[in-house]
Chains A and B, each alone.
Chain A
Amino acid sequence: MFIVKYIKDVFGGLKSLLIGMRRTGYYFTHHKEIITEQYPDNRDTLVLADRFKGEVVMPHDENNEHRCTGCTACELACPNATLKVVTKFDITPEGKKKKAIDKLVYHLELCTMCNLCIVACPSDAIVMAQTFEHSVFNRADLTKILNNPGSKIMDGVE
């Protein structure tokens, strides 16, 4: 029946509009749902979403030890050559040569925060930090060395 369908259309349309208005009405009256951060004012208490990726860092423990073996998996995974692993050879107590990193050079100015290096790393040596205030006056300051000076690899990480 045409007329039944017509009336159903009218009421169905009205109902769907009211459902939408109930949703926005809920947001209008519930200000706790607001997710805006008032950034420069609340710098100390700023809460960022877990998925937010700011820059690549290498965590060190209290003995100044990191987990990077220098395998260059991150360098290979990076699509724009942001990471560069500079290796050296350590002499172990037994007199053997062992490959280790000298420097892990990170070009923040080239990084697109794609997370591929983090996924590629077999020993979880690098992670994404949530810092985002990256402005500097000199472009060279954006090139960073991720491992701390004098750091060495953690025991047990191969």
Chain B
Amino acid sequence: MLLTSAFLIPCSLFKLQKMWSLTDISSAIHNWLNQTFNPTWALIIEMVIAGIAVIGLFAVLGLVLVLMERRVAAWMQIRLGPNRVGPFGLMQSMADTLKLLVKEGMTPDGADKFLFNLAPFIAMMVAMLLMAPIAFAKGFQLWDMNIGVLYISAVSSIMVISILMAGWASNNKYSLMGAMRSGAQIVSYELSAGLSILTIVVLTGSLNITDIINAQADGWWVFKGHIPVIISFVIFIIAVTAETNRAPFDLAEAESELTAGFHTEYSGMKFALFFLAEYINVFIVCAIGATLFLGGWMPFHIGHWEAFNHAMDYIPSSVWFFGKTFFLIFVIMWFRWTFPRLRIDQLLNLEWKYLLPISMFNLLLATAVAILGWHF
């Protein structure tokens, strides 16, 4: 089920030229394993490989995104950013990681020790689970399940449990307050995130990630679905920014009010896990946004421009996917370094008085568009 799905996906829509492709690599590994071992062992080894690949991706993403965030922040604030460690400061996040690794992971005396130590691992586990249904390239997916979108929205709500756990177990007023705010925030914003995802599900008629991507072969939803999809795209971006606890919705951390919110008491590697989980979550929600609205790994095509479309097909699908994802990550970073933090009442007003009614109305509009066939 893991890498096996790689070649079950129908790819009749494109005749991508034979070049460096992740599908070839995964199918070669799969065939070799099945020839060498019996199917059970082959499956177990494939699972181990997939696990290692996910952990490796996490590590790389953590390093890259932290550096990217600091650079983007610096440039937006007319500063230079890290430029001392390594060429152009590229080793900065590596040095930070080393520092966090050798730091002592303190557990406070008054804390609930078991929950306190468990919380960061739950945060990481949720991030890992969310990796499963994401299609990184054409036919390159860990688990192509038929309820992919439902799975994503279900699993991502476990995230709040790790935050509440961390805040409660720390036995610290700031932590508890941050965790409670985070709870209110994530529970609220999940509604409009879910409704904006539903817009795409309505238009595609499927919860399967592969089906959703294939439906965008002749144009991404954000272009094909006109107004309702554009509205839901904007709402989705706002809601996921809130769900990942990033500024302007970073009330759970709120440095200026709650020191560091729910992870005030954490240090060393346990803090690093929370920090990493935040960035991984940003990557995942942007990957989901890119999949649903910007066509996943689908190249950019314009109507009947055969030569242009052909040239676009030459770019590998993984480059398309990561390009779109990193564009969305950049947009979310742009939000963070432009907007001031909302107050808790403003935050809830925005969700319950603006985003939720608009996304409900928008879902209705999208349904009408889908039934009447007004989209391209």
Say how far A45's CB is from chain B's closest CB, in angstroms.
16
Instruction: State whether the Cβ of A38 lies closer than 8 Å to any Cβ in chain B.
Output: yes
Interface membership of B80, Cβ < 8 A: yes
Question: For A20, what are the chain B residues with a Cβ–Cβ distance below 8 Å?
Answer: 338-339
The A-B contact count (CB < 8 A) is 37
Is A34 a contact of B78 with CB atoms below 8 Å? Answer: yes
Residue B337 is within 8 A (CB to CB) of chain A in the complex: yes
Interface pair B75/A10, CB less than 8 Å apart: no
Q: Are B76 and A27 in contact (CB under 8 A)?
A: yes
Q: With an 8 A cutoff between CB atoms, is B17 at the interface?
A: no
Report whether A31 and B75 are in contact in the complex, using a CB–CB cutoff of 8 Å: yes
Interface string of B325-356 (1 = CB under 8 A from A): 00000000011011100000000000000100
Check B334 against A34 for contact (C-beta < 8 Å): no
Tell me the complex Cα distance, A85–B15, Å. 90
Partner of B338, one of A21, A33, A34, A36: A21
Given that A21-B334, A24-B338 are contacting pairs, would A10 and B358 also be in contact in the complex, using a CB cutoff of 8 Å? yes
Separation of A144 and B83 alpha carbons in the complex (Å)? 38
A60-73, CB under 8 A of B: which get 1 and which 0?
00000000000000
Q: How far is the CA of A17 from the CA of B237 in the complex (A)?
A: 14
Is A34 a contact partner of B80 (Cβ separation < 8 A)?
Answer: yes
Residues of B contacting A38 in the complex (Cβ-Cβ under 8 angstroms): 80, 83
CB distance from B77 to the nearest CB of A (A): 7
**What's the nearest-Cβ distance from chain B to residue A9, in Å?**
8
Complex interface bits, B65-84 against A, C-beta within 8 A gives 1, otherwise 0: 00000001001111110010
- Fill in one digit per residue for A127-139: 1 if any B CB lies within 8 Å of its CB, else 0: 0000000000000
CB distance from B341 to the nearest CB of A (A): 14
Which residue of A17, A21, A23, A28 is within 8 Å of B75 (Cβ)?
A28
> What are 13 A-B pairs with beta-carbon distances under 8 A?
A9-B354, A10-B354, A20-B338, A20-B339, A21-B334, A21-B338, A24-B337, A24-B338, A25-B76, A25-B334, A27-B78, A36-B80, A38-B80
The 9 closest A-B pairs by CB, nearest first: A24-B76, A24-B338, A36-B80, A28-B75, A20-B338, A28-B76, A33-B78, A21-B338, A36-B79
